[in-house]
Amino acid sequence: MTEATFPAHFVRSLLLSAEKKGVDTRQLLDGLDLPFNPRDPVLDDARVPARSYCKLLRRVALHTQCHLFGLPVDGSEPTAGLRLMCLALLSCNSLENAIQCTADFYRNYGHPGWRFSMSHSGDDIVIHFSGRDSEAVYAYDIAFLLRLWSWLSGQFIEPREVRLSEPRKNDPEVYRVLFGCEVQYHQDGNSVRFQADQARRPVVQTVESLTKLLEEAPYELLVMSRNNLKSIMAKIRFIIGSDFTKGFPTREEISDMLNISPSTLQRKLAEEGTSYQQLKDDLRKNAAIKYLHRPELSVIATASLMGFGDSSAFNRTFKRWTGMPPGVYRKNNLHAQMSP
């Protein structure tokens, strides 16, 4: 799979910003292994791997002790402000509520350059962004928020319209892929419009999935692909996430989240060669196998992580999945690892 990339001039903008604050930019670039000099304006068409760009974002935030995506940095933790905001968003009962909560959080704690408001326009919601001079990176900042909200609901927000005040770029296809729609340039302001139905989706993420997201944030958000979420199985996996301690949503709850009937959900899954029960079993089986490869986790702890209150029930279920109890599976795996 081709790795996502960012324009080289984004890196140059970050380096110039850090330099103005007295940071030795050689430290920032150490270990990023860029195949070119990001300061060279001739290389505007060059691309930087997304993981390297995200590492640089975090380093700039740490060295300058300024904001990461407009939110405060705390000592050695570049995502401190983002984490606090996301913890608040997890308690919201709908995506619309989460968007409003995000706006309130930025207004009270964020950088003055990050301001936006939400309004209803017919059957649509329009988010207006203001408070900062237009620049190329701003489009990616807007996309970051859209992808954060998409992650919260487990489904991509699909804009009807994106309007940017900046001039049209040489690589408009990059922006079209980023937002999932055509982008209008040279507009009076910056805004995103999407169907209000999408804002009624529930927030499905958890503290555990947030912790995973923040490990390399914003990498996971910026490389999320709509193509990877086209199948109904992929959408359900995204909604369920990796925290099984609280059980699974019912088939009816999943149907509501996807705005389809339970019978349609069942039919679509059958077309993809599975069922909701089979999908849940596969998710738990794969996660259980992964945990059993970690020697510091006992079988009882693994059972708890899988949402089983009774380890004997987990033992029976795991044997049904793999043909052997978890303890035997772990022992066999350990033997295989130690064999020459």
- Predicted confidence band of residue 44 (pLDDT cuts 50, 70, 90): low
Q: Answer whether 287's CB lies under 8 Å from 304's CB.
A: no
29 and 126, same domain (yes or no): no
Give, for 124, the enclosing helix (H) or strand (E): strand 124-130
In a 3-state reduction of DSSP, which class is residue 256? Answer: helix
Residue where the block lists tokens 């992650």: 151
In-domain check, residue 290:
yes
Rounded to whole angstroms, how far apart are CA atoms 92 and 113?
Answer: 25
In-domain check, residue 76:
no
Higher per-residue confidence, 241 vs 44: 241
pLDDT of residue 46: 80
- For residue 300, the Cα-to-chain-centroid distance in whole angstroms is 30
Q: Which is nearest to 124 in space by CA: 157, 165, 91, 90?
A: 157
242 and 332, same domain (yes or no): yes
Segment 34-61 shows an average pLDDT of 81
In-domain check, residue 212:
no
Segment 113-133 shows an average pLDDT of 89
Helix axis angle for 276-292 and 311-322, nearest 10°, is: 100
178 and 252, same domain (yes or no): no
| Diameter over CA atoms, the chain | 68
Q: Answer whether 90's CB lies under 8 Å from 48's CB.
A: no
In-domain check, residue 71:
no
Q: Which is nearest to 143 in space by CA: 103, 172, 179, 195?
A: 179
Of 155, 176, 199, which residue sits at a domain end? 199
Cis, peptide link before residue 41, omega less than 30° from 0: no
DSSP state of 169: P
pLDDT of residue 183: 93
State how beta strands 5-7 and 47-49 pair.
antiparallel
**Confidence check: pLDDT of 122 > 80:** yes
Rounded to whole angstroms, how far apart are CA atoms 118 and 139?
Answer: 17
298 and 240, same domain (yes or no): yes
Which CATH number characterizes residue 274's domain? 1.10.10.60
Per-residue CA distances from 297 to 8, 114, 294 (Å): 43, 43, 6
State how beta strands 124-130 and 190-195 pair.
antiparallel
**Alpha-helix residue ranges (DSSP H) falling in 259-310:** 262-271, 276-292, 299-305
**Confidence check: pLDDT of 313 > 80:** yes
Higher per-residue confidence, 203 vs 44: 203
In-domain check, residue 301:
yes
**pLDDT tens-digit map of 74-106:** 888 899 999 999 999 999 989 999 999 999 999
152 and 248, same domain (yes or no): no
141 and 35, same domain (yes or no): no
Structural domain that includes position 22: 5-66
Angle at the Cα of 236 from the Cα atoms of 235 and 240, rounded to 5 degrees = 120
In-domain check, residue 218:
no
57 and 100, same domain (yes or no): no
176 and 276, same domain (yes or no): no
pLDDT of residue 123: 96
**Confidence check: pLDDT of 236 > 80:** yes
Q: Which two tokens stand for residue 201?
A: 């989706």
271 and 297, same domain (yes or no): yes
Higher per-residue confidence, 136 vs 107: 107
In-domain check, residue 205:
no
Rounded to whole angstroms, how far apart are CA atoms 193 and 146?
Answer: 11
100 and 30, same domain (yes or no): no
- Domain count along the chain: 3
- For residue 106, the Cα-to-chain-centroid distance in whole angstroms is 19
In a 3-state reduction of DSSP, which class is residue 129? Answer: strand
> Any residues with CB less than 8 A from the CB of 185 and at least 6 apart, and which?
164, 166, 167, 168, 169
Segment 36-43 shows an average pLDDT of 70
Of 39, 66, 93, which residue sits at a domain end? 66
pLDDT of residue 33: 76
- Predicted confidence band of residue 315 (pLDDT cuts 50, 70, 90): very high
Q: Which residues is 7 bridged to in the sheet?
A: 47
In-domain check, residue 241:
yes
Q: Answer whether 117's CB lies under 8 Å from 127's CB.
A: yes
**pLDDT tens-digit map of 142-195:** 999 999 999 998 888 999 999 998 887 767 777 888 898 989 999 988 999 999
Q: Answer whether 27's CB lies under 8 Å from 63's CB.
A: yes
183 and 239, same domain (yes or no): no
- Predicted confidence band of residue 131 (pLDDT cuts 50, 70, 90): low
pLDDT of residue 1: 44
247 and 169, same domain (yes or no): no
Q: Is the full-model pTM beyond 0.85?
A: no
| Other residues' Cβ atoms within 10 Å of the Cβ of residue 89 | 21
**Confidence check: pLDDT of 258 > 70:** yes
pLDDT of residue 144: 92
